[in-house]
Structure 1
């Protein structure tokens, strides 16, 4: 016999709707459990958010336990217009330091003799000396120059004698020029009164290059010898007055400066390459050439009263440069005093604790004189840490307040997510109590937050800076006391707050109260999942049983109807036959 799956087709009773209603009514426990699970999830989310805020608070507290920033210092000079600069390191003693500098440090110097190069000509005859090849400190430029109002035009291909002739021609023979190889100077001689050199529209530097300047007389001579050593010409062809002989057959020689050997080759090296070699060495000196005086100098790279020691064989390069015949000009040490104390000595113009003994204080002076350095706490770094703590603390407190409050509006009571969690409310009170309490046992003038101008906002558990001036004064003038208040190990403010927060939020070494709460909620939700699954299995079984029963009823009803139809037909047939 075929079964009928259509609900009520035979019986006329919609049993499927009946089953759905029955199962829905029986599902009420699942709905209650799901509601409980939803509340648990909301609590879990709220606690996770609180845990994040606690982590931020922990970080701000850890920053307070590091006392480094509380010992940061600033140094300020009393004079705004000064060539001095000052700096103070971590932990420098706070106070004012009167600095009086009576002598600046200078570097030792060894100056060679002047006029180390031969003159511009070996004889007084300069007809073969062209302007372009004269070994001068400043090369001559082509153009015009003026003598007694007469303009002379020159070209670089002209010889020096050509220029003398042009001067004589332009001035009608009243001014003549001559070169003296003995003095390596040019002399202009006038026969008609004082010589006047130059004009505003001159285009050649001939007069300045030959060191000729007005003196109000009829005779003008070069102010100094003219010849200069060409720095890029190889040494054996540079025209040194004193020849270099202390070299081997290939031109190799050497010398020492402060015990450091410097080598050279007269056939390949120039004065420029040798000086560069000296400057790049570890000898600790700088070599330079002054074309105006035709002289090489060595100067220590560091200041202070210290020597320069040179050595070479007779006939070497240093001798040719006039350095071995010179005496070292000893440098000077800086001389100064602090707070009218005894005279102190520094080899450099940057005086540090190495000479004055004040840890962390450094002063660079650019002139003699007196100034005052004021060392105070670096409030910026300290303020940043304190403000970060207050912000994190208030974020935790305001969140707990928001999540635990119960409000009533027009008789309608609304409870926040964590309103039934008394433990969460107690965390807020613990934090407030520990923040408010004093710190015992400190050798400090600050034992409470209010000593820093910090207190609770009235009617709340949140902190605020009520007196910025009090905080600034403490950070500026008593940073050590502030550091002791916040950072003292085990008993300081930060340590006490940290202990409470660590219990709530946990650490890398163990779980806190929040973790335990979250674990309980997770376990509870897992248990609810299991209960819902068990109830659902029962409901599924109940649906199957009810469905099977009603199908059986429908089938039985169908069988009864079929039998009745057959009987009716049978009776009807019998009746017709009779």
Structure 2
């Protein structure tokens, strides 16, 4: 069984030549991989060098809500009912070391900001109804001191809800330090049910929307913004939708590159109108533009181009020029040839091991015949395809040394093989495998396939009720017959021995009687 498996491996290695995969190995190299990369993607790439000039990358169409989703708050109403998306807890907070008390049930945003401005904190605090954000600025022009938000004794989240605690501080119009809310105060919570959200565009109605012709359902009572966006992303609309917490907007980007726009339609639900997408200006994507060897500008709606250079895929990465070189991968060919020779040598070694003087199948002439046939095949001559007609002529031999007791292995002279390959590649390809089926690999495949297949010679010997089993049963039958004959002969000899013992006893008795009679006659 091990021999059959080894022959099957050799068969597969020979088949690689017949499939054309051994010599069909190529390299693709880009001189400027920051501009583009190249990869072999076809069976027969066109060898040569190509100058690729990337003029423009393909990009996707995108669109964002043209305004914040949440309604602006009422700065004069009590904080708890002002429309601020996040609840404010009662307690204290501090700015520049000055502590303030807040009660969301009675204090309004403007009243708190006025208190801060009038305090010793040294900052002006104001609310901008247009941006729906709060700004804190040092009161003294040119004062670049850092505004310190919060202190160790704070127990209200007021500054966190205003989104100023971690805001970037920058210079204002008069050079003073200022900090502005990083998010509008009325920004929506994407996880709340649509009916519970105070949208600037009004209440959302249930029904359907359509994006790129694909219908998506909207249930205002049960769906949140996150639910609707997830449904869009899971659909066949070929877009990716997301909510931007910083800008309180929805961003929709096409999954395909190119200049095609995204189509928005309401179909019962006004969701797209409320989230300010229907009338938003789309940033149209662009098609990739490039030239090959200085030719006309070509366009594609993708940055992965597989039809500009035969058998090669180009991945455009940035604007720029690169020389793409397509060449034969001779190192890969050598590796495959070595694997083929290794499979041949391993097969011959296994047969020598099994048929040697101490082998399990010592003296088996049928296996010796396999070795002889394999050697005959690999050293066969293949004519009609060029000057190289046999493996020794391209550097595949049994080596220079000779040892009568050693198994002859095939060896590869890489230098000679590469020289022949570069001299006449087509000749070498046909030497191994050709359309007439006369190549070395063709013949080797046919022979090893015939003897290693499930209906082949070896399997017929090793399978249950095969020729080896038949021989074993025949030998066992002969052993049984011989044992039976030995048992019969033993029984016959034992009977004869018993008879001899009885006869000896009779003679002894007669001898005793005669001795007694003779002694009486002497007395008289």
> Do structure 1's residue 567 and structure 2's residue 517 form an aligned pair?
yes
Partner secondary structure for residue 70 of structure 1: coil
What aligned pairs does 1:37-76 form with structure 2 within 5 A after superposition? 52-53=2-3, 56-66=6-16, 67=19, 69-70=21-22, 73=25, 75-76=27-28
Q: How far off is 1:169 after superposition?
A: 1.3
Determine the C-alpha separation between the residues in 2 that align with 1:232 and 1:156: 27
Q: How far off is 1:108 after superposition?
A: 1.3
Gaps of 5+ in 2: 152-158
C-alpha contact (below 8 Å) 2:27/2:327 kept by paired residues: yes
Determine the C-alpha separation between the residues in 2 that align with 1:80 and 1:314: 53
Q: How far off is 1:564 after superposition?
A: 0.6
Bigger mean CA deviation after superposition, 189-198 or 59-68:
189-198
Residue 431 of structure 1 is aligned with which of 366, 374, 387?
A: 374
> Do structure 1's residue 213 and structure 2's residue 162 form an aligned pair?
no
Determine the C-alpha separation between the residues in 2 that align with 1:521 and 1:271: 80
> Do structure 1's residue 395 and structure 2's residue 344 form an aligned pair?
no
* Residue of structure 1 in register with 2:64 after alignment: 111
Structure 1 residues 518 and 317 mapped into 2: Cα distance closer, same or farther (>3 Å)?
closer
**Cα-to-partner distance string for 1:211-249 (whole Å, 9 max, x where unaligned):** 86323507869599834233233334423222247x4xx
* Residue of structure 2 in register with 1:25 after alignment: none
**Cα-to-partner distance string for 1:309-361 (whole Å, 9 max, x where unaligned):** 11126982212222221243322222234454544333222223xx43734x3
Partner secondary structure for residue 126 of structure 2: strand
Determine the C-alpha separation between the residues in 2 that align with 1:184 and 1:288: 22
Residue 229 of structure 1 is aligned with which of 173, 188, 211?
A: 188
RMSD between superposed Cα atoms in Å? 4.8
Determine the C-alpha separation between the residues in 2 that align with 1:424 and 1:236: 84
C-alpha contact (below 8 Å) 1:97/1:338 kept by paired residues: no
> Do structure 1's residue 289 and structure 2's residue 289 form an aligned pair?
no
Gaps of 5+ in 1: 1-50, 405-415
> Do structure 1's residue 450 and structure 2's residue 396 form an aligned pair?
no
> Do structure 1's residue 362 and structure 2's residue 313 form an aligned pair?
yes
Q: How far off is 1:164 after superposition?
A: 3.6
Q: How many residues align?
A: 490
What aligned pairs does 1:387-536 form with structure 2 within 5 A after superposition? 387-396=341-350, 398-399=352-353, 402-403=356-357, 418=363, 428-442=371-385, 447-450=389-392, 452-457=394-399, 458-459=401-402, 462-470=408-416, 484-488=430-434, 490-498=437-445, 507-511=453-457, 529=479, 536=486
Whichever of the two has the greater Rg, that structure is 1
C-alpha contact (below 8 Å) 1:100/1:336 kept by paired residues: yes
* Residue of structure 1 in register with 2:154 after alignment: none
Q: How far off is 1:70 after superposition?
A: 1.9
Q: What TM-score results when the alignment is normalised by the length of structure 1?
A: 0.68
**Cα-to-partner distance string for 1:172-194 (whole Å, 9 max, x where unaligned):** 6xx53333435545466776433
Structure 1 residues 453 and 96 mapped into 2: Cα distance closer, same or farther (>3 Å)?
same
**Cα-to-partner distance string for 1:125-180 (whole Å, 9 max, x where unaligned):** 546337997348xx9x985544xxxx4445675753324422331256xx533334
Greater share of helix = 1
Determine the C-alpha separation between the residues in 1 that align with 2:449 and 2:129: 93
**Cα-to-partner distance string for 1:413-471 (whole Å, 9 max, x where unaligned):** xxx964xx8887665444333222222344x7864323553211332562333423555
* Residue of structure 2 in register with 1:101 after alignment: 54
Partner secondary structure for residue 312 of structure 1: strand
C-alpha contact (below 8 Å) 2:14/2:441 kept by paired residues: yes
Partner secondary structure for residue 53 of structure 2: strand
C-alpha contact (below 8 Å) 1:57/1:392 kept by paired residues: no
Q: How far off is 1:299 after superposition?
A: 1.2
C-alpha contact (below 8 Å) 1:60/1:385 kept by paired residues: no
Structure 1 residues 366 and 208 mapped into 2: Cα distance closer, same or farther (>3 Å)?
farther
Bigger mean CA deviation after superposition, 185-194 or 459-468:
185-194
* Residue of structure 2 in register with 1:242 after alignment: 201
* Residue of structure 2 in register with 1:194 after alignment: 142
**Cα-to-partner distance string for 1:385-408 (whole Å, 9 max, x where unaligned):** 31432332441575489549xxxx
C-alpha contact (below 8 Å) 1:120/1:184 kept by paired residues: yes
Determine the C-alpha separation between the residues in 2 that align with 1:549 and 1:224: 124
Q: What TM-score results when the alignment is normalised by the length of structure 2?
A: 0.74
Bigger mean CA deviation after superposition, 510-519 or 450-459:
510-519
Q: How far off is 1:511 after superposition?
A: 3.3
C-alpha contact (below 8 Å) 1:69/1:381 kept by paired residues: no
